[in-house]
Structure 1
């Protein structure tokens, strides 16, 4: 049984670092800062444990972050271990790609991460919503936070603020850093319990089909026979034809299409116990959507989904969110002995340089996203991978980030495979 995280009623007036948003990015950042003795205040608009709309899949980069944060054993004890990703094409063919993965609902995962931050010394205060930065000149010196309805706002001054508020644009807009209000993509998911299918479906299943064009469907087996099933569209709000129209897709209709074209999904929804309504969420991908070149401004850094740490091809973002939070913490820690003027420049430069090192990987995943628009490419790749152990090893390398996804999941990549 989950124990609610107890928090003081009011945050302190001052902190070394104020981290806004206690999801994977914010909790990872807060833990590393608190470990080094900085007074770290972590706030979130929700009490914990709380739900978060997500696919819940944890791939190797997430596992690496868990180890660094010291929570790997606790996550592994709660999560459903998974040894393969099953890639399913429109014609029904599939290939199982090996890897070290797991599934854990964000309600449980985020609670583990925020408790670890508290155990390291971070002060958690909820529910508090970011309303606006406190600014002196051009520098952010804290934040105004709003509690439950009827309560007056509170102000927390801080040497630095880390904004880890997810893909919704309101906080970025208030901070003067929102480059685009529309998301890169959107997704919906449901939780469904089906004990019998839990014995049959033991892989992360990702499905491409003409009826799902522009995105994909998934069926992920979680703990206690509960599946995370959903559909997502990347580029759901991109401009079409240069005429200013948004490319949209009704995701509820797409979810229904998914259940029509993929028999395991249909069986799951027909026979299983649906645990709550279908829920949706926006996505920010490819390290885009934050104005400026430093993912921040003097006194403030942006991390996690707010910074666009989700992969455009797969929609996976938990691992990179934690990584960005830890990179933000490292940038702040390296500059802690500098004067304020020196620290501002050094922190922004160090953090931007660290994220730019990740950018090529995001670009490759964005190129690989063509398979979502042309699902027949998945059929070709699956056909070749079933015949070639070497290609299957490359696909496994995409999961653990040792292989370039554009060599496989693009038209030119698949064309080359046909002749190898």
Structure 2
């Protein structure tokens, strides 16, 4: 079999990439080791960058018909202070979102098959396809380009020779709680900082149909031992989750009044566009495999779709060039490099998770300063610098605005 582009991974990055390419007439095969409609551990929050990406894909209306719209992020500090930051927000469980994105790729003409990536096919040092496992059978698919969109688990990256960091940047644990009686009581994307969940944060997001997504996340969860290896710090996610529920009254009420749907599930996070090579001849790495999740907030859906579309844009821009490999790689790497400073700023802002008193300070001042509240809303909309909020200069400005 031969296709123009073989995409490994049918999450937001892979499906977004596939839809853009297929709409442009490319022969696209999209594969995933899981069947369509697989679940994914995630906070499920769709912030403005996700809305923007969905709008470009032409799928925003379809997603919003199913999603729970939300008007604010509720930031809650260790002392119980709260400020509601306005934004264009929504919540849709990843199982439903990913199914819609995959269907969007198929509607555009991409083919989907359930198969597992085993190894790249190479010719003269260039990737020219992949070996895939379907059931007990190994097959080969040839392609002009292979796009790896395999998420945070490093196995595929390692097999493709692209992994630079085997351990994750962070970890998260989430569950779904059915609690119709809590509808109207929790209406914002609530993010909670407290010593009890240090060095992480807790969240409760209202989902459709009387459900709530509740969880905890810890970025910078592993020590870097060098050579791409790492060691997990003393982080017990279940203990942090239990501490969050015990410490934050709405979380305790939700767990007491509601019914846990399924089990609590954990997942790794790859952040800050680090941990993997972005390209090699014939192959591009995108989405969370490339580290497209923001540290500090743990948000990654919007940036996964954005990086997937950037990969598609690079391939399409040079599809008719006889020697296109270097040009495609250069365009894609330049596009990710342009995003990197924004990720680095979120890495700076991540100090709030390690020092929850900073959240208290920001919340206290934002309740008194419309300008600061506007800047915090700008962080959501990606028009404000999140790192400046917690820099020494930014903190000093809190007292003199």
Q: Distance in 2 between matches of 1:411 and 1:210?
A: 22
Instruction: Give the alignment partner of residue 41 of structure 2, picking from 40, 53, 57.
Output: 53
| Contact kept? 2:179, 2:254, Cα under 8 Å | yes
- Relative to its length, the structure with more strand (as a share) is 2
Q: Distance in 2 between matches of 1:409 and 1:278?
A: 32
Match of 2:80 in 1: 92
| Contact kept? 1:239, 1:246, Cα under 8 Å | no
Match of 2:241 in 1: 255
- What are the Cα deviations for residues 232-273 of structure 1, in whole angstroms up to 9, with x where unaligned? 000001349xxx764230101110010011011111111201
Q: Distance in 1 between matches of 2:396 and 2:45?
A: 30
Instruction: Give the alignment partner of residue 304 of structure 2, picking from 321, 326, 331.
Output: 321
Match of 1:168 in 2: 153
| Contact kept? 1:130, 1:143, Cα under 8 Å | yes
Q: Distance in 1 between matches of 2:22 and 2:269?
A: 29
Q: Which structure 2 residues correspond to residues 21-420 of structure 1 after superposition, within 5 A?
A: 21-126=9-114, 128-148=115-135, 151-239=136-224, 246-291=232-277, 295-339=278-322, 342-420=323-401
C-alpha RMSD of the superposition:
1.1
User: What is the Cα deviation at residue 411 of structure 1?
Assistant: 4.7
User: What is the Cα deviation at residue 225 of structure 1?
Assistant: 0.8
Structure 1: any 5+ residue segments left out of the alignment?
A: 1-12
- What are the Cα deviations for residues 63-90 of structure 1, in whole angstroms up to 9, with x where unaligned? 0011110111110100000000000000
| Contact kept? 1:365, 1:406, Cα under 8 Å | yes
Q: Distance in 1 between matches of 2:224 and 2:4?
A: 42
* TM-aligned CA distance change 1:153 to 1:208, over 3 Å: same
User: What is the Cα deviation at residue 147 of structure 1?
Assistant: 1.9
Number of paired residues? 397
SS in 2 for 1:280: strand
Q: Distance in 1 between matches of 2:118 and 2:266?
A: 23
| Contact kept? 2:167, 2:231, Cα under 8 Å | no
- What are the Cα deviations for residues 346-382 of structure 1, in whole angstroms up to 9, with x where unaligned? 0110000001111110010000000000000000000
| Contact kept? 2:13, 2:307, Cα under 8 Å | yes
Q: Distance in 1 between matches of 2:391 and 2:215?
A: 24
Structure 2: any 5+ residue segments left out of the alignment?
A: none
| TM-score using structure 1 length | 0.93
